[in-house]
Amino acid sequence: MSEIKQVGGRAVVVRGHDIDTDRIVPARYLKEITFSRMGEYPFIDERYDADGNTVEHPFNEARFQGAELLVVNRNFGCGSSREHAPQALYRWGIRAIIGESFGPIFAGSSVLLGMPTVMASPEDVGRLMTLVESDPQVELTVDLDARKVRLPDGSDIDIDISEGHRNALTTGSWDSTALLLGNMDEVAQTSEKLPYTKNFEGPAPL
């Protein structure tokens, strides 16, 4: 299993309170049957005008390309419970999000991708935003064990994350596929006890 105790890298800032999942990924993209192209869609209606021309947005700026951390404000990921929103951010390249607070379903869906959503005070989030915008090359480290964001000058800021989410990430139990594959003996034993898994031939023809 993949334990996630620290996530480091450069960051990108998206300012604004109550950025909902429809702004992250508009509803018209939910009809796609896989997540394979979701990395193209984060904030797409804010990144392009009606003619498809790029407009000013952090996700369009060359200086923020390759960022692995996202810094946001209050109640990020609120609104509908579409898992496409964290999928889009993850597939764009984001591996952890630092914010004042998050929509609870968005935070839970992010954990299932191994993408921590950690909370800091409004003052500390503002400090991080200013730091990243002034120097996009700055490297930050989210330390889940210490509950800190480490800054390159040796200082840090306090962060919070639900204990259930932190435990899932740091123990690797967030990765349900790896958890299943790592316990195949128990799966086989359970299967042997279930009568409907034996001699199963599928549904009767119509």
Task: Kindly report, residue by residue over 17-27, the tens digit of the pLDDT.
Answer: 999 999 999 99
Determine the pLDDT at residue 139: 97
Condensed to tens digits (0 to 9), the pLDDT of residues 64-121 reads 999 999 999 999 999 988 899 999 999 999 999 999 999 999 999 999 999 999 999 9
Determine the pLDDT at residue 44: 96
Q: Over 90: is that where the pLDDT of 183 sits?
A: no
Cβ pair 159, 147 in contact under 8 A: yes
**Length of the chain counted residue by residue:** 206
Distance CA 179, CA 201 (A): 28
Q: Over 90: is that where the pLDDT of 175 sits?
A: no
Condensed to tens digits (0 to 9), the pLDDT of residues 11-70 reads 999 999 999 999 999 998 888 888 889 999 999 999 999 999 999 999 999 999 999 999
Determine the pLDDT at residue 82: 87
The fold for domain 6-174 equals: Aconitase; domain 4 (3.20.19)
pLDDT confidence band for 191 (50 / 70 / 90): low
Condensed to tens digits (0 to 9), the pLDDT of residues 140-152 reads 999 999 999 999 9
Determine the pLDDT at residue 178: 55
Q: Over 80: is that where the pLDDT of 197 sits?
A: no
Sheet containing 140-143: order of strands: 6-9, 140-143, 148-150, 156-158
Determine the pLDDT at residue 193: 72
pTM: 0.85
Angle between helices 84-92 and 104-111 (to 10 degrees): 50
Helix (H) or strand (E) holding 98: strand 96-99
Cβ-Cβ contacts under 8 Å for 88 (sequence gap 6 or more): 24, 25, 38, 39, 41, 42
Determine the pLDDT at residue 98: 98
Of 136 and 189, the structure prediction assigns the larger pLDDT to 136
Sheet containing 96-99: order of strands: 11-13, 69-71, 96-99, 117-119
Cβ pair 98, 128 in contact under 8 A: yes
Average pLDDT score over the chain: 90
Distance CA 125, CA 133 (A): 12
Q: Over 90: is that where the pLDDT of 205 sits?
A: no
Helices (H), the chain: 21-24, 44-47, 84-92, 104-111, 122-134, 163-171, 176-181, 184-193
β-strands 11-13, 69-71 pairing:
parallel
